[in-house]
Structure formats: C-alpha cells, structure tokens
Amino acid sequence: MIGIKAAEKNDLKKIYEIETEAFGSHGYPSFFIRQAFDCWSNGLLVAKDKAQVFGYVLQVPSSQSIGDAWVLSLAVSKQAQGKGLGKKLLETAIKNAKEYKRLLLTVCPKNTGAYTLYQSYGFYLVEEEQDYFDIGEDRLVLALDIVVS
C-alpha cells in the first residue's frame, strides 16, 4: 500500500528521476534535491510503497512573506499517474500547512490538468507572471488560504 511519509536519504535518487521525468529542463538538479533534504526534511515527502518511490512533494516556508509556504515541486512518476497520488500528496501538503496563512505554488498555464486539480482544492489565481523562468516561460501563481478549524 502506498503511503505518504518523510523522504529518506536513499529516496533522493528516485526523487531526482521523477523530477527530471516530470519537468525536464525546468526540473531541479540533484544537488538541490539533496540540499532540500538537508534544509527542509519535514517538507520533503514521498509517496512510497516499501522501497519504491512513486511521487513526492516539496513544501517550504516563504522567506518573502511571513505566514506563507510554497509547494516548490509536486510530481508523480509516469508509471504511477492516474492513481490519485498527486491528490494524496497535495492533500498532505495542505494538511501540513496548518501553521501558515497561505500556501502558494506555480503552474504552467498550458498544464490545464494540474490547474484544474489545484482549483478543485480551493487554489485561486494570484497572478500570471510573464517570463517566470525565461522569455516565453510564463507561470500562474496560485494561492490557497489556510483556514484553521
């Protein structure tokens, strides 16, 4: 059974492979994933069954705005897509954001599937930032207000 748990050092190679498979040239390099593990280990979570990693999410506090956190990356391996793991990872990130006021993320405007998923969880458009990564590489900045019950 696939569960969501904190990443372990031996998961980092697979996280990098999934990152590269999902985001290509816009993916984080392996050294960043290692440093994310060292800096934000409580925010680097994997969808895992025994030793097999099928997806991950990286959530970190914002240094720009106190009370905000960012989902820097969320990806599921191609072999495991369509099984609800992206939703499960997103739900866990939202649940773990209770100490924050807002959870932010970016998505490519052409990725309508991801945008629709995020909207279904209450994320709303903050802005469309032109040339976010490079010329012609626009991103939608989305936010979810965290309501503590």
Domain hosting 137: range is: 3-145
- For residue 3, the 8-state DSSP code is E
Using one digit for the tens of pLDDT, what is the confidence trace for 106-122?
998 988 988 999 999 99
Q: Indicate yes or no: pTM above 0.85.
A: yes
Domain count, the chain: 1
63-80 pLDDT tens trace: 888 899 999 999 999 999
Supply the CATH number for residue 68's domain. 3.40.630.30
